[in-house]
Amino acid sequence: MKNANIANILRDIAFLLEMEEGEDNSNIVFKIRSYKRASDVIANLSSNVEEVYATHGLKGLMQIPSVGKAIALKIEEYLTKGKIQYLDELKSKTDIDIDGFYGLEGIGPKTIKIVYDKLGIRDLSGLEKAASEGKLRSIRGFSEKKEEIILKKIQLFKKGRSRYLLGEVYPLIKQIETRLLKFNGVKNAVVAGSFRRMKETVGDIDFVVACNDVEKVMDYFVSMPEIDEVFGKGSTKTFVRLNNGMDADLLVVPEESFGSALQYFTGSKEHGVAMRKIALAKGLHLNEWGIFDNSQHRIAGSTEEEVYQTLDLEWIPPEMREYLGEIELAKKGAKGLPKLIEYNDLKGDLQVHSNSTDGTMSIEEMALAANEKFGLQYIVITDHTKSLKLTNGLDEKQLLDQANRIAELNDRIRRVPDKTERQRINEVDLSASTPRTKSSNFRILSGAEVNIMRDGSLDIPNNVLDKLGIVGAAIHSNFSQPIEVQTDRLIKAARNPSVDIIFHPTGRRINKREGYPVNIEKLVDIANDTNTILEIDAHYDRLDLKDEYVRMAIQKDVKLVIDSDAHHPVHFGFLKFGIGQARRGWAEKSNILNTMPADELLRCLK
């Protein structure tokens, strides 16, 4: 699967263009944006770009959303020649180690260019050194404060770099899993470890495969194009480094051990240790090969269900296996496990952006994809509001105009989409892993992601907000105030009768920034008192609320929703990460309001 490579190449081009062409030339700005968008789409695409090209050629590439002719030609060049001349030319103009800077939030190509021009800094460690030695402040536009921020960002970035965001690696890893599953002689193949537990970040990848011809699978595995380096190859395990920098383990076991091997390598370690103690107390022995009695007879191991059952436990969903009380609940005669929300339970998405602000597609296109590709029944368009100038936030009049347009669209949406609209979302499979039937009476609801100001007030008055379908409020600025101040801002928003939902309540961006400090217990209590919904933002770098806060909210009976925060149709695919996070927080279907049809949901609002 070359998608990740292609996405990186397009991202490289955007980065280099932005660095080289510092001018505010709108032509270049447009071009940079197109490359960024195409890179984002391809990174999150579930279909294989290489296959699209093999079957449909250049035309096929141009059907990929946000890929126009110029970019399609670059992709073709890469697929046929293994490199892109344009990129090589851009790269030859600089000797900055751009790879080392990727993912460093808030320090963009322009800053990197400036510190290179002024101080000759070429890589991340050079930047860190200069910042810690106080050398950046001599550059015009830099200050001691800015230097401090840069240093903090580098440190957070370095800390996070050894772990990957789940959503960042998900498409590639799923692709490898499917490939293993299809390989001749393979009876079963599952990605175990933290990936299967849907942890927000993953250290390494653990593939567990059932096959009787161990050697054959291992040879196949190490021959995959994504494998950069083979560290070791034993009789049952292979250790490799993937070309995205991640390490992966492959364990191959006979069919009768698949369940116990999967159970072992899914972890968590603490959960596994507790399981083995239970086995010992029953006079049994549990390891990756099975459950054995005193005379070394295997009495279970082919399925996980069998393993749990033999220990008198209910089967425990992987997302719950963190040794946080799940084993007690799963014991025979105990209360039983919660019945977690399922991956196909969502009916709508309450945070969706359009190209009226910083989204990249029209309301119609977002709706069409949500309906036809992701099987949703409704979406709420929640564009940013006026005080967020960077996103071209909407003012009162624009919000109301948009709401009127949405009302008209709902009448029109039952018509057949026109040819261009259809082309842009068709051909390429954008679907979530479970294909679902589309809804015949899809609805778009009007809304807003209204900005919470420094003092907790909103930038749009209530009489306007009340004309919208659903209103979410969120903090986007003034992060560095003390916890009491931040909590009060959120509480004031929650007390506002026009605010239905608090979006991404803690503002974190995993591995990028910590978010603002919030007294989450207090927020949960106020949400409960005021019938305000808290959001689980499913974007894989937010996952906000996170698992432990989800659990806290549920214990207090606060209602939650899971939203994609989509700025492009492919982003609806992020919903699964939000559901994973909700399951890690032990959420049931009834805890998540957007598992309900739109009418019912609207009746639950304050």
Q: Which does 269 bind (CB under 5 to 8 A by kind): Ca ion, ligand DGT, none?
A: ligand DGT
Closer of 250 and 596 to ligand DGT (Cβ): 250
Shortest Å, Cβ 195 to ligand DGT? 7
Q: Which residue is nearest to ligand DGT (CB)?
A: 267
Contact between 535 and 505 under an 8 Å Cβ cutoff? The reply is yes
Neighbours of 146 (CB within 10 A): 15
Cα–Cα dist 139/110, whole Å: 13
Shortest Å, Cβ 170 to Ca ion? 14
Shortest Å, Cβ 202 to ligand DGT? 4
In this structure, which long-range contacts are made by residues 312-320, counting pairs with CB atoms below 8 Å and at least 24 apart in sequence? 312/282, 313/275, 313/278, 316/271, 317/583, 318/196, 318/197, 318/198, 318/266, 319/197, 319/198, 319/580, 319/583, 319/584, 320/583, 320/584, 320/586
Beta bridge partners, 443, equal 378
Closer of 116 and 170 to ligand DGT (Cβ): 170
Angle at 456 between CA 451 and CA 458, to 5 degrees: 40
User: With the CA atoms of 476, 481, 487 and 488 taken in that order, what torsion angle do they form, in degrees rounded to the nearest 10?
Assistant: -100
Does the N-terminal peptide bond of residue 268 adopt cis geometry, omega within 30 degrees of 0? Answer: yes
Shortest Å, Cβ 273 to Ca ion? 16
| Residues 238-277 interacting with Ca ion (rule: CB under 5 A) | 249
Give backbone dihedrals phi and psi of 194, rounded to 5 degrees, phi first: -60, -25
Shortest Å, Cβ 250 to ligand DGT? 12
Closer of 130 and 543 to ligand DGT (Cβ): 543
Shortest Å, Cβ 490 to Ca ion? 35
Q: For Ca ion, how many residues bind (rule: CB under 5 A)?
A: 4
Q: Which does 272 bind (CB under 5 to 8 A by kind): Ca ion, ligand DGT, none?
A: ligand DGT
Closer of 193 and 573 to ligand DGT (Cβ): 193
Closer of 59 and 269 to Ca ion (Cβ): 269
Q: Binding marks (x or -) toward Ca ion, 160..199, rule CB under 5 A?
A: ---------------------------------x------
Closer of 268 and 344 to ligand DGT (Cβ): 268
Cα–Cα dist 121/244, whole Å: 25
Closer of 127 and 202 to ligand DGT (Cβ): 202
Closer of 258 and 374 to ligand DGT (Cβ): 258
Closer of 249 and 563 to Ca ion (Cβ): 249
Question: Residue 321, exposed/middle/buried by CB under 10 A (0-12, 13-18, 19+)?
Answer: buried
Closer of 206 and 304 to ligand DGT (Cβ): 206
- Which token pair is 254? 């006979």
Q: Which does 268 bind (CB under 5 to 8 A by kind): ligand DGT, Ca ion, none?
A: ligand DGT
Q: Which residue has the tokens 């909103």?
A: 458
Shortest Å, Cβ 247 to Ca ion? 7
Shortest Å, Cβ 206 to Ca ion? 5
Measuring CA to CA, which residue among 56, 78, 62 is closest to residue 9?
78
Using the rule CB under 5 A, is 204 a contact of Ca ion? Answer: yes
Q: Which does 253 bind (CB under 5 to 8 A by kind): Ca ion, ligand DGT, none?
A: none
Using the rule CB under 5 A, is 60 a contact of Ca ion? Answer: no
Q: Applying CB under 6 A, which residues contact ligand DGT?
A: 193-194, 202-204, 206, 264-265, 267-269, 272-273
| DSSP label of 245 | S
Shortest Å, Cβ 258 to Ca ion? 17
Q: What is the DSSP string of 430-477?
A: ---SS--PPPTT-EEEEEEEEEB-TTS-BSS-HHHHTTSSEEEEE--S
Question: Residue 92, exposed/middle/buried by CB under 10 A (0-12, 13-18, 19+)?
Answer: exposed
Cα–Cα dist 353/36, whole Å: 17
Beta 201-202 vs 164-165: how paired, if at all? antiparallel
User: With the CA atoms of 129, 132, 134 and 140 taken in that order, what torsion angle do they form, in degrees rounded to the nearest 10?
Assistant: 70
Q: Which residue is nearest to Ca ion (CB)?
A: 193
Shortest Å, Cβ 262 to ligand DGT? 10
Q: Which does 445 bind (CB under 5 to 8 A by kind): ligand DGT, Ca ion, none?
A: none
Query: Residues in the site for Ca ion, rule: CB under 5 A?
Result: 193, 204, 206, 249
